[in-house]
Structure 1
Amino acid sequence: MFYGCQQDRLKLDSFEQRVVEYLCRQANSLTNCAIYALKRAARQSGQVDYNYYDLDKHLKQNKHYKCLFSQVAQQTLMSVCESFKSHYEVIQLWYRGELEDKPKMPRYRKSGGMSGFTYPAQHLRLNETIETGLIRLPLGAEIGKLEGIKEIYIPAPKNIHPEKIKEVRIFPRNRCFYVEWVYQRKEKQYQLEFKKALGIDPGVKNWLTCVSTTGDSFIIDGKRPNFWNRTLNREVAKHNKGQSGDCRLSPSGERRCAPRAWSKKLALMTEKRNRRLSDYINKIARTIANYCIDSGIGTVVMGWNQGIKQKANLGKRNNQNFYQLPTAKLKERLKVVLTEIGVNFVEVNEAYTSKASFFDGDFIPKYGEKPDNWKSSGKRIATKLFRTAKGWLVNADAQASANILKVASIPSVNLDEITRGSVTCPTRLNLYPTVSV
C-alpha cells in the first residue's frame, strides 16, 4: 500500500486565516521550547537524548502546548525528536570519518515566526466531510477560552475520498498558507521489461535529454524555468537598486547599502515562481513515467555528479542559470514516481560522458582515474553538436545520454538498438503548448 501527498493552496476568510496564523506561531514557539529542552539535556548529560515521552511530560504545562490541540502539540514534539535523532545518526558517520564536515545540532527557528503543524486523521471527523465537503480542525483549550471557538473548517479536496485521508499538514510559505493531504493509494502493476532502459543526461537549456534502447529519444526543455528565474532576478535587482537607507562608507571609500526588506510583491512573485517550478517538475516526472509504461521500460539510468554545483565556474550568467535550476529536486521526484510504478532507478557518475564518442566505442574512465594518454575519438564542435571519428554529426547531449547507459553497464541491457538517427535529432517535448485562438 502506497501513500500519496497532495499540496493545495489554502484559501480562507479573514477570521480563519488569523486563527491559522495564530496556530503557526504557537507551533513555532513550541518547537523552540522543545529544541531548548533537548539541548539543555544534552549539555547536562553529555549525550543527545531524543526521548519523546520525557519531552512530552516536561512540556505538558507549557503555554504554547496548551494553545494547540493535544495531538498537534504531540506531533510537533515528535518532529523535533526525529530531527535530533537524525542529527545523532549523522554525527556517528562523521565520527567514523564518512563525512567531511561536522553536522550541527538543530537550530532555533526565528522568534515570532511561523511553523507548520499536523493533524492526524482520527480527530478530523472525516465521516461528516462526505456530506459537508469541509474538514473539521479542533483547537486547543486556551484558544477556546480566549476566542470562544472549539474548531474551524477548511475545504476538503475534491479528488481525494475523505476516508483515504490519513494526515493533514498546514504550513506557511511566502505569506501564503498551504495544506498537504497525506492519503492512501492502491498499488498498480505494470508490464515492464528491465532489459529495456532509458538514459537521462541532465543539463541547463536541455534540462533532460533522454535516449532509450528502443531507438527513441526526446528532450525536456529547460528554457522555460530559466525564463522564470531570470524574471524574478530582474525584479529583485530593481527592488534593491537605488537604495537610500542603511548606507555606509567602507574603509576603501566605497558606498555600500544593505538590501531592502523583502516586500510583499517579491514574496508573491517568488511563490508564483516556486509553484510554476513544482508544477513543471511534476509534469516532467509524469511524462517520463507514462513513456516508460507505454514502452515497457523497466530501467532508468540518470547521470549525476554529487556536489557538482559547489565548484561550478561557468561564468556569471551560466552559473546563475545552473545554480537556480532545481535539478536535484527533479531527480528525487523522478525517483519517487518511477519507483512507485516498478521502474529500477539507477544513478551513475556522468564524468567524461559528454567527451567520449559513443559510436566510436570510446573507453569512459571513472572520475579521478582518467589515464594521461586518454583522448576522445570525436569532438564537440558546437554547444549542442558532436562530431564522431566517422564524421557523423549527432546531438551532443543525446550521445552523452547513450554513454550514461554504457557507463551503467547493466548486463541485461542491450545498446545495439541505439541508432544514429535516434541520437542525431531527438524530439523536443513542449509540456506547455500554446493554444491558438
Structure 2
Amino acid sequence: MLLHPDKEAKAVLEYLCEQSGKLYNMGVYFARQTFFKTSKLLTGKFDLIYEQSVGKSKIAQSLPSTPAQQTLLSVAEAFKSYKRLRQAWFKGQLPNKPKPPNYLKGSRLFKVAYPNSGGQKPKLVDGQLQFSLGLTVKRWFGIDSFRLPAPSHLDMAKVKEWTILPKNGVFYLEASYEIPKQETFVGIDDQALAIDLGTADNLAACVDTLGNSFLIDARAMKAFNQYWNKQVSTRKEGKPQGYWDTFLDRVTRKRNHRIRDGINKAARLIINHCLKYGISTIVLGWNEGFKDNANMGRLNNQKFVQIPLGKLKDRLQQLCEVYGIHLEVTEEAYTSKASYLDGDSLPKFGEKPDGWKASGRRVKRGLYRSGNGAIVNADLNGSANILRKVARKLGIDLNRLSRRCLATVARVRLWQLPQPALSAESPCL
C-alpha cells in the first residue's frame, strides 16, 4: 500500500529507514570482515544480533529493538543465500563465482519490519496502525510512536509482519500473511504445458499436450517500458551523470507498477489455463544468463533485457507451489531452430553434432517453415520443442500436439478488459 504521510510522519519514516540502512551496512561490514579474516559465514539466526550490534551500537539503539533485530536478520539471510550459491559454485552448478553481499548504495534507505507479535507489535488504534519507536527514540526526540493508515480489506489477526518499504522516493506499507490453503489440485499425469519466454512481441508462447496454444502479448508492456526510457532520457539530457529527481522517481514507480501488474496477470492466466484443463506439469524453457551480452540492436535490447522474465519465472514457481502443479525448468538450446513437425533432434547447448542442420527455418519474424513447406508460428514451434526436450523424462504424451495448434494462434492482451477468451485470432501470426 502506497503511503501518503504528512510532514511529521514522513520525517519519522525517513529517520527509521535511514537508521535501518546504517545498521544493515554495519552488519554487512562485520559479516564481510569475519568472512575475509576467518572464512566463517555468519548465517545463524543470532550470529549478528547478539555477537555484534544490539546493545553495543548507538545505531542499533536508535531503532526499536524488534525492527533492529529484523534488519540484522536480513543481513544473516543475505549471507545464508551467499553460502548456498557458493556451495553450488563449488559443485559446478553455477558458471560464475558468487560475490559476498555488498553495502547499500544510493539513498541507503532500508526496510523496517515489525513482526505482528511480541511487545512491539503494531496496535490498531482508532482505525490506524500504531507503531512503537522504543525508549531511546522517546528519550532523544520526545515521541514514542507513530501511526499509519490500516488496510481495510485485511484481517489484522492473520498478518505475520508489517514492513515499511522505501522505494523510488516514497514509502509503502507491506503486510505479510499466510495464503489460505487451496483445494488439492488433481491433474492429468501425462499432460503438460510448455512456455517459451521473451520473444519479440510476446511475453510467453504456450502450447499444451491437449492441442491448445496461445500467445501472451507483450507489446503494451514493452511500449510502457519504451516510453519510460524516453522520459528518463529526456529528463536527464544535459544533466550531470547520476542526476535523479522526484519526477524520475514518479515515472519509475509508474513503470514498475505496470510491469509488475503485467507479470502477475500473465502468471495467473497460465495457472488458470492449467487448472481449467487439468494440466499437472508446466515445462519452462530457461537458459541461465541468456540476457548477458545480448546483441540485438539498441531498441531490441531495450525491449528484451529490461522486461523481467526472471520475475515471471519466480511468480509461476510460487503459484505452482500453491496449487500443487509441477514446474520443470529445462534448457532450450536449438528449440527455435529445429522443426517440431519434422522431429529434428534437439542437442544440448555446446553438444551439437557435426553436420546437424534443421529441417526448416524462419522465413520472417514470427513464421517458421517446416521441411515439408508447412507454415507455423515460430514461437509456438519453439515451445513445442521445449516439450520434446523433456517428454521422455516426464512421460508426456505428444500425440495431440499437431500442426493445427502451432498454426492457429490465440493472442491474449493483458490489459484488455474484459479478459478475452482463448480463441483463434489469426493463423500463424
Scaled by the length of structure 1, what TM-score is found?
0.88
Q: Secondary structure at the match of 1:27?
A: helix
1:397 correspondence with 2:397: no
Once residues 107 and 314 of structure 2 are traced to their aligned partners in structure 1, the CA distance between those partners, rounded to angstroms, is 32
Alignment partner of 2:251 out of 265, 269, 283: 269
1:355 correspondence with 2:351: no
The corresponding residue for 1:85 is: 80
Once residues 80 and 314 of structure 1 are traced to their aligned partners in structure 2, the CA distance between those partners, rounded to angstroms, is 38
In structure 1, what residue type is equivalent to 2:247?
A: K
Question: Structure 1 400/327 Cα, relative in aligned 2: closer, same or farther at 3 Å?
Answer: same
50-59 vs 262-271, which moves further: 50-59
Mapping for residues 57-72 of structure 1, pairs under 5 Å: 57=50, 58-59=52-53, 60-72=55-67
Question: Residues 23 and 68 of structure 1 are in contact (CA less than 8 Å); yes or no, is this contact kept in structure 2?
Answer: yes
1:433 correspondence with 2:424: no
Question: Structure 1 373/43 Cα, relative in aligned 2: closer, same or farther at 3 Å?
Answer: closer
Once residues 43 and 374 of structure 1 are traced to their aligned partners in structure 2, the CA distance between those partners, rounded to angstroms, is 49
1:155 Cα deviation from its structure 2 partner: 2.3
The corresponding residue for 1:5 is: none
Q: Secondary structure at the match of 2:210?
A: coil
1:56 Cα deviation from its structure 2 partner: 2.8
The corresponding residue for 1:217 is: 213
Question: Residues 69 and 138 of structure 1 are in contact (CA less than 8 Å); yes or no, is this contact kept in structure 2?
Answer: yes
Question: Residues 123 and 138 of structure 1 are in contact (CA less than 8 Å); yes or no, is this contact kept in structure 2?
Answer: no
Question: Structure 1 298/184 Cα, relative in aligned 2: closer, same or farther at 3 Å?
Answer: same
Question: Structure 1 236/124 Cα, relative in aligned 2: closer, same or farther at 3 Å?
Answer: farther
1:146 Cα deviation from its structure 2 partner: 3.3
The corresponding residue for 1:387 is: 369
Q: Which runs of 5+ in 1 are unaligned?
A: 1-7, 244-257
Alignment partner of 1:238 out of 234, 239, 242: 234
1:420 correspondence with 2:406: no
1:55 Cα deviation from its structure 2 partner: 3.4
The corresponding residue for 2:178 is: 184
100-109 vs 357-366, which moves further: 100-109
Question: Residues 194 and 344 of structure 1 are in contact (CA less than 8 Å); yes or no, is this contact kept in structure 2?
Answer: no
The corresponding residue for 2:295 is: 313
In structure 2, what residue type is equivalent to 1:106?
A: P
In structure 1, what residue type is equivalent to 2:402?
A: T
Cα deviation, 1:308-341, whole Å, max 9, x if unaligned, reads 1113221222122111111111111111112211
Q: Secondary structure at the match of 2:291?
A: helix
1:35 correspondence with 2:28: yes
The corresponding residue for 1:3 is: none
Once residues 249 and 313 of structure 2 are traced to their aligned partners in structure 1, the CA distance between those partners, rounded to angstroms, is 26
Question: Residues 124 and 137 of structure 1 are in contact (CA less than 8 Å); yes or no, is this contact kept in structure 2?
Answer: no
Alignment partner of 1:143 out of 129, 137, 146: 137
1:153 correspondence with 2:147: yes
Question: Residues 211 and 398 of structure 1 are in contact (CA less than 8 Å); yes or no, is this contact kept in structure 2?
Answer: yes
Question: Structure 1 338/41 Cα, relative in aligned 2: closer, same or farther at 3 Å?
Answer: closer
Q: Secondary structure at the match of 1:197?
A: strand
Cα deviation, 1:69-101, whole Å, max 9, x if unaligned, reads 111111111221232333344334445555554
Alignment partner of 2:162 out of 147, 153, 168: 168
Q: Secondary structure at the match of 1:308?
A: coil
377-386 vs 156-165, which moves further: 156-165
1:282 Cα deviation from its structure 2 partner: 0.8
1:12 Cα deviation from its structure 2 partner: 2.3
Mapping for residues 8-27 of structure 1, pairs under 5 Å: 8-27=1-20
62-71 vs 277-286, which moves further: 62-71
Question: Residues 124 and 136 of structure 1 are in contact (CA less than 8 Å); yes or no, is this contact kept in structure 2?
Answer: no
Question: Structure 1 160/412 Cα, relative in aligned 2: closer, same or farther at 3 Å?
Answer: farther
410-419 vs 212-221, which moves further: 410-419
Once residues 177 and 350 of structure 1 are traced to their aligned partners in structure 2, the CA distance between those partners, rounded to angstroms, is 40
323-332 vs 80-89, which moves further: 80-89
In structure 1, what residue type is equivalent to 2:379?
A: D
In structure 1, what residue type is equivalent to 2:166?
A: P
Once residues 378 and 93 of structure 2 are traced to their aligned partners in structure 1, the CA distance between those partners, rounded to angstroms, is 36
Once residues 120 and 186 of structure 2 are traced to their aligned partners in structure 1, the CA distance between those partners, rounded to angstroms, is 39
Once residues 387 and 243 of structure 2 are traced to their aligned partners in structure 1, the CA distance between those partners, rounded to angstroms, is 48
Alignment partner of 1:406 out of 388, 397, 404: 388
Cα deviation, 1:93-148, whole Å, max 9, x if unaligned, reads 4455555544333222248731111111114888964x844322111212212333
Question: Residues 45 and 73 of structure 2 are in contact (CA less than 8 Å); yes or no, is this contact kept in structure 1?
Answer: yes
In structure 2, what residue type is equivalent to 1:150?
A: D
Question: Residues 61 and 136 of structure 2 are in contact (CA less than 8 Å); yes or no, is this contact kept in structure 1?
Answer: yes
In structure 1, what residue type is equivalent to 2:154?
A: I
Scaled by the length of structure 2, what TM-score is found?
0.89
Question: Structure 1 48/390 Cα, relative in aligned 2: closer, same or farther at 3 Å?
Answer: closer
Once residues 97 and 108 of structure 2 are traced to their aligned partners in structure 1, the CA distance between those partners, rounded to angstroms, is 28
1:157 Cα deviation from its structure 2 partner: 2.5
Once residues 42 and 362 of structure 1 are traced to their aligned partners in structure 2, the CA distance between those partners, rounded to angstroms, is 50
In structure 2, what residue type is equivalent to 1:20?
A: L
In structure 2, what residue type is equivalent to 1:161?
A: D
1:48 Cα deviation from its structure 2 partner: 3.7
1:290 Cα deviation from its structure 2 partner: 1.1
In structure 2, what residue type is equivalent to 1:56?
A: I
Once residues 424 and 97 of structure 1 are traced to their aligned partners in structure 2, the CA distance between those partners, rounded to angstroms, is 41
Question: Residues 292 and 298 of structure 1 are in contact (CA less than 8 Å); yes or no, is this contact kept in structure 2?
Answer: yes
1:380 Cα deviation from its structure 2 partner: 1.1
